[in-house]
Amino acid sequence: MQLYKNQNLKVHNSLSGKKEVFQPINEGHIGMYVCGPTVYSNVHLGNCRTFMSFDMIFRYFKHLGFKVRYVRNITDAGHLENDADDGEDKIAKKAKLEQIEPMEVVQRYTVDFHNTLQKFNFLPPSIEPTATGHIIEQIEIIKEILEKGYAYEANGSVYFDVLKFNENNEYGKLSGRKLEDMIANTRELTAQDEKRNPQDFALWKKAEPQHIMRWPSPWGDGFPGWHLECTAMSTKYLGETFDIHGGGMDLKFPHHECEIAQAEASKGKSPVKYWMHANMLTLNGKKMSKSTGNNIYPSEIFSGENDILSKAYAPSAVRFFMMQAHYTSILDLSDDALLASEKGYNRLMDAMENLQTLSTGAKSDFDFGAWKQKCYDAMNDDFNTPILIAHLFDAVKHINLIKEGKESITKEDKTLLENTLNTFVYDVLGLENQSAVKDDSNALNGVMDLLIELRNQARANKDFATSDQIRDRLTALGIQLKDGKDGTSFSVN
């Protein structure tokens, strides 16, 4: 069903700095490219947040009935240490340290990346191309840029001429930077520099004798510049102009700025209609950094084996935590924040289970049709998951009131509520009902059944002191008993 025809979706376009009504280039079809990881180490949580944001966006597009081609690349060559044009290749450096082949490094950390995303319940992209698999395409784009006069060769390397490009184009329009300011704030070139200008960037780098990863080209053995791979792969699979290019906020400059310049120089047209950027994840109020130790990997959160958090958290609880912030907002990870999110996640999962056993009546005391549209309105407002979650908890409140016999719901509205919650909780937000998060294993369920039975016996015998003691002791342990017309249930707070 093509729901998108009845929904007015708006997205924040980084290029214009405004929310714009989303209208794909081809009706009913979306081409979306997201910059993937450089696979030289375990994927960190900040990267996971970016990919999770676009997984949610991908899911919502699919739910609306769009046919989506989602391309997310793997960078397995060409990414130098300082994200500029000097230093060692990150993957080659790791290979030297561990005395293994570069492709062993790539394989190890690509597997880690996939395993981690699978635990977070990501949908796989439509295509996951690699930089090394598209060397030919990158060389062809360099030839085009050279022919148009926007690049030059120097000593076996090829550089993009930013000043020449800027004569008839606007370098810096995505990040809001002015080339004059960039020139004023950069150092002078030394005699050893191959570039004509400090702002120029590498399209192809000559490989020194010690450089492990190298390929033949018209300019000699070398390797492609980091920015070039995304231009080659996005346009190959999505066309010269496509709908969405996404990535982390830190990629706006220089990476995405250079992508725009490369595409416009080679094809003569702007490559992307909507640029979208996810914001960063901080840890205890500070930027995540391996060097300072203010860093945590997803596996350490799942296992609890870390010095930062008080306990282990299940992947869906962490995913729920991330969905509680808008993808364009900075999100701070802390133990208190995860504990609060886990409680909210448990409440939501309890409600999803309670919904199955609700009795229906002749009328509904809540307008579930209007509530459903509010859920869509939240997602149509630039994928506003925090507002969506607030609406989901409105439903949780009414589910609990119906269970307690204080409200009623018709059979039709119950079906609508079930379908809508399943759609947004599982299909769009990508959550799973993980019993590990709730700590309600079979053993706990058995113990609680016994305690509830003992309490019911005490109440039947008018031994209210014992029944109250059982209730109060459980409350002190964070376990809430709920008496309803269908019996007594419990939830872990």
- Say which DSSP state 294 is in: B
User: 208: which residues sit within 8 A by CB, 6+ positions away?
Assistant: none
Q: Do you find a cis peptide bond into 386, omega within 30 degrees of 0?
A: no
259 annotated to bind ligand: yes
> How many other CB atoms sit within 10 Å of the CB of residue 85?
18
Closest C-alpha among 81, 116, 97 to residue 226:
81
Closest C-alpha among 276, 263, 267, 179 to residue 228:
263
230 annotated to bind ligand: yes
Both tokens of 23, joined, read 């209208």
Sole residue written with tokens 């910059």: 35
Stretch (H or E) spanning 230: helix 226-238
Are 427 and 123 in contact, with CB atoms under 8 Å apart? no
Closest C-alpha among 40, 31, 26, 52 to residue 318:
52
35 annotated to bind ligand: yes
Give how far Cα 147 sits from Cα of 153, 265, 397, Å: 12, 10, 65
245 annotated to bind ligand: no
- Say which DSSP state 78 is in: -
User: 114: which residues sit within 8 A by CB, 6+ positions away?
Assistant: none
Residue 70: phi and psi, rounded to 5, are -105, 115
300 annotated to bind ligand: no
Give how far Cα 308 sits from Cα of 133, 334, 437, Å: 39, 8, 19
- Environment class of residue 136 by beta-carbon count within 10 Å: exposed (0-12), middle (13-18) or buried (19+)? exposed
Binding-site members for Zn(2+) are 35, 230, 255, 259
Binding-site members are 35, 230, 255, 259, 290
Binding-site members for ATP are 290
